[in-house]
Amino acid sequence: MTCKIDYRASDDLLADRVILVTGAGDGIGRAAAKSYAAHGATVILLGRTTAKLESVYDEIEAAGGPQPAIFPLNFEGATLKDYQEMAETLDKAFGRLDGILHNAGLLGRITPFEQYPPALWEQVMQVNLNGPIWMTQALLPLLKASRDASVIFTSSSVGRKGRAFWGSYSVSKFATEGFVQVLADELENLSSIRVNSLNPGATRTRMRQSAFPGEDPATLRSAEQIMPTYLWLMGPDSRGHTGERFDAQPPRR
Ligand code: NAP
């Protein structure tokens, strides 16, 4: 597994690129949106809580980044029609898409499978897997219009090795890894779109805190600290890599 924690991105690494970040209002997505904008990207901030997206928008503007765009969308209720309309809106505004960071995610519940509520299982699959997949299908023509598009799907260590009680979250991440391989293989010789999976590793966010309530957050890397790999994989220095798995930080001991 490759990790680029020591990568140093140039200030203009993502200049003139249009990049969609899902779950951009909080945690890792928030840090990624700000980091991509700080390196020159026009960022489309997608998420379910508009107020959070607006505060990221304000922070990017205050830092002097390119003017971002806000796209409120909840993967739980979104339909194919919503994704199609989204593609039309982005086509009119930008005419292409140079990257997608699929980052939005739902933990569900850490519980024995015997007690896993079916409705919650489906909700997690919808947010972590099905919604992002159909959104990607609708956005493929825009990605094809880019000279160098990078699509990153967020995985997890439990998407690479199953762990007791992690239920649909783990299964959704395994399926994400599978989808990355399928789509990367399909697009490899037909387009300049690369598709890879990225495991952030243990990172100090709201989701991590709810999964491990007894853990001292001070022992974890912040979302800002894991950005080197997010930048490398989104920018031109990772050209030629597709269908691969990456880690944003070395495994914890
Ligand atoms: P987080 O702080 O809980 O942030 C998750 C983001 O996803 C939030 O912005 C949230 O929106 C958004 N989201 C959730 N449900 C959504 C929906 N139905 N529609 C649209 N957006 C939705 O979690 P995080 O730790 O930053 O996690 C980011 C990604 O990294 C996830 O895919 C997660 O599985 C993965 N990951 C995290 C860790 C870790 O240690 N933190 C480790 C491995 C993998 P709201 O802000 O509106 O709730």
Ligand 1 atom 34, closest CA: 105
Average pLDDT, the chain: 97
Q: How confident is the model at residue 191 (pLDDT cuts 50, 70, 90)?
A: confident
> Ligand 1 center to residue 74 CA distance, Å?
12
- Tell me the C-alpha distance between 169 and 55, whole Å: 28
- Structural domain of 233: 2-246
Has residue 252 been placed in a domain?
A: no
Instruction: Report the separation in Å between the CA atom of 190 and the middle of ligand 1, taken as the mean of its atom positions.
Output: 32
Query: What pLDDT digit, counting tens, does each position of 118-171 carry?
Result: 999 999 999 999 999 999 999 999 999 999 999 999 999 999 999 999 999 999
pTM of the model: 0.98
Question: Taking CB atoms and a 6 Å cutoff, what residues make up the pocket around ligand 1?
Answer: 23, 25-29, 47-49, 52, 74-76, 103-106, 127, 154, 156, 200, 202-203, 205-208
CA of 207 to the centre of ligand 1 (A): 6
- Tokens (6 digits) for 64: 């002097």
Return the pLDDT at 253.
65
Q: Which among 219, 222, 202 has a CA at the least distance from the CA of 211?
A: 202
Tell whether 229 is covered by a domain: yes
**In this predicted model, what pLDDT tens digit does every residue of 193-219 receive, in sequence order?**
999 999 999 999 999 999 999 999 999
**How many domains does the chain divide into?**
1
Label residue 37 by pLDDT band (50, 70, 90): very high
Cβ neighbours for 135, distance < 8 A, ≥ 6 positions apart: 22, 75, 78, 83, 86
Q: What string of DSSP letters covers 31-83?
A: HHHHHHHHTT-EEEEEES-HHHHHHHHHHHHHTTPPP-EEEE--TTT--HHHH
- pLDDT given at position 151: 98
Establish if 156 belongs to a structural domain.
yes
Q: 129 C-alpha to center of ligand 1: Å?
A: 13
Three-class DSSP category at 112: coil
Q: What is the CATH number of the domain that holds 207?
A: 3.40.50.720
Task: Decide: helix, strand or coil at residue 25.
Answer: coil
Pick the residue whose CA is nearest to atom 11 on ligand 1: 23
Whether 168 is in a domain gets the answer yes
Residue 253 lies in a domain: no
Q: How many CB atoms lie within 10 A of CB 81?
A: 9
Testing ligand 1's pocket by substitution, the residue of 30, 46, 48, 50 carrying the most ligand atoms inside 8 A of its CB is 48
Q: List, by residue number, the catalytic residues.
A: 169
- The secondary structure element, H or E, covering residue 142 is helix 131-144
